Amino acid sequence: MKIDRSLFHPDYKPEPFWWEAARPGTAHSTDLPDKTEIFIVGSGYSGLSAALELARGGKSVTVVDALAFGEGASTRNGGGVSAGINLGKGISGTPGQNARGEDHKTLVTNLLRESLAAYEFVGELVERENIDCHYERRGRFVGAYSKAHYAGLVEKAEFLNHHLQMDATAIPREAQKTEIGSDFYHGGLAINRAGKIHPSLFHKGLLDACHRENITLCAHTKVTAIDGKVGNFTLKTDKGNCQAEQVIIATNGYTGALTPKLRNRLVPISSQIIVTEELPEDLALELIPNGRTISETPRVTSYYRLLPGDRRVMYGGRARFQDVPPDVSATLLHGMMTDRWPQLKDVRITHSWSGFVAMTTDALPHMGQEDGLHYCTGCNGSGVAMMTYLGNQVARRILQNGHSDSAYVDVEFPGVPVPLYRGSPWFLPIVGEYYRYLDRKDRRASA
């Protein structure tokens, strides 16, 4: 693909903008202990959130990461904080049963209620741990990609307000400039109960809180095998072995051969982001007057926002489902951004990066215990709130000797319906093209 270098600012960096404020590193890292009560694999939001709750419950906890702390999705994401889960959007249909055997309607209501609890949990955590991470609760606007999608959003507003008191309002196309300086959408949905955060400052705050709670933290420590059973696990790592009573797998989109049963039920998808140079104040204000995060309804979706200070745009999306070099994704994302905002055609890119999210076939996140190992996984691209919350729920389950009040516990976790699938999604380019075709068809029907 031809790269137009004029799109790139002279200070362009192919790495996350967020790392300028807090780069994933090894601060607080120590040697692997011989023994710990709880061993957590993965130092993103879910691993650290679980660790904090367990330490507060009196357990000795060790968190390890194969990379620097937080170098997975938790310092790479868009920082949108929402109560969103994609109920009913998965290819396997509606959720299966959970451990409590609730009927379908009760289960769905409880899953939704807990997604709102997840959103509230982030705010509580930020406040409790006094984390300075530009957390702003300014809401979210979901743009309708077609007329039919707008009709769906009108129904959704009623549903969200009735079941979750989400304070959602459908905004018709004629009025959408109150939310976004663009004619691209066929109206949309404004949701007040949503926010945005600086992802890597949030992560740093959690890491510092773990350090204050005397949690053992080991960076650049890859777990290569897990033997044993509850009460007596041996974790083999490239830095030596560690004995543990309980283990939590918190590896989400970076899940690999260590836990093949989990890996085979997850599809890792690349999500890519660019950041622009600073814009004139009046232009930035015109783009998103209420400072909300923006998402949209097509299958191949984009998510975007203004950065703290409200002068630069962060634009994210699935330029490609598989990982591509940052210069390539930057070029594609710049095109997608200017489809929505033609007024940004001469605005240059300062940062471009990507990371992996874990998709599930029922489009739901999952927590459970398998072969004795606790896990939470499957963020489906929306895990700032949900994975932080589920990490906490896994920890509470351990502290309560296996009991949990969460509706997410052991919800049936379907596999990927591709013969011999082993975590390597060769089919993504085909699926990506098919979804793009369906999106174009939906859009044409509105013309």
Ligand X SMILES: Cc1cc2nc3c(=O)[nH]c(=O)nc-3n(C[C@H](O)[C@H](O)[C@H](O)COP(=O)(O)OP(=O)(O)OC[C@H]3O[C@@H](n4cnc5c(N)ncnc54)[C@H](O)[C@@H]3O)c2cc1C
Question: Where do contacts with ligand X occur on this chain (CB under 6 A)?
Answer: 41-47, 64-67, 71-74, 76-80, 222-223, 250-254, 256, 258, 271, 273, 303, 316, 354-357, 379, 381-385, 387
Supply the minimum distance, in Å, between the C-beta of residue 277 and ligand X: 20
CB nearer ligand X, residue 181 or residue 326: 326
Work out how close the CB of 390 gets to ligand X at its nearest, in angstroms, rounded to a whole number: 8
Q: Among 199, 192, 194, which Cα is nearest to 120's?
A: 194
Could you tell me the smallest distance in angstroms from the CB atom of residue 323 to ligand X? 11
Nearer to ligand X, 51 or 190 (CB): 51
State the angle between helix axes of 384-399 and 45-56 in degrees (0 to 180), rounded to the nearest 10: 30
In terms of CB distance, is 67 or 431 closer to ligand X? Answer: 67
Nearest residue (beta carbon) to ligand X: 383
CB-based contacts of 5: which residues, under 8 Å, 6+ apart? none
**Comparing C-alpha atoms, which of 432, 415, 38 is closest to residue 214?**
38
Nearer to ligand X, 65 or 179 (CB): 65
**Whole-number minimum distance, CB 380 to ligand X, in Å?**
8
- Which of residues 73 and 168 has its CB atom nearest to ligand X in the complex? 73
Cα maximum dimension of the chain: 65
Give the shortest CB-112-to-ligand X separation in angstroms.
16
Nearest approach, Cβ of 167 to ligand X (angstroms)?
19
Closer CB to ligand X, residue 74 or residue 182? 74
Nearer to ligand X, 48 or 171 (CB): 48
Cβ 49 vs Cβ 388: under 8 Å:
yes
CA distance 61 to 227: 18
How far CA 268 is from CA of 45, 50, 241, 325, 377, in Å, comes to: 17, 22, 28, 17, 11
Q: Least distance to ligand X from the beta carbon of 49, Å?
A: 8
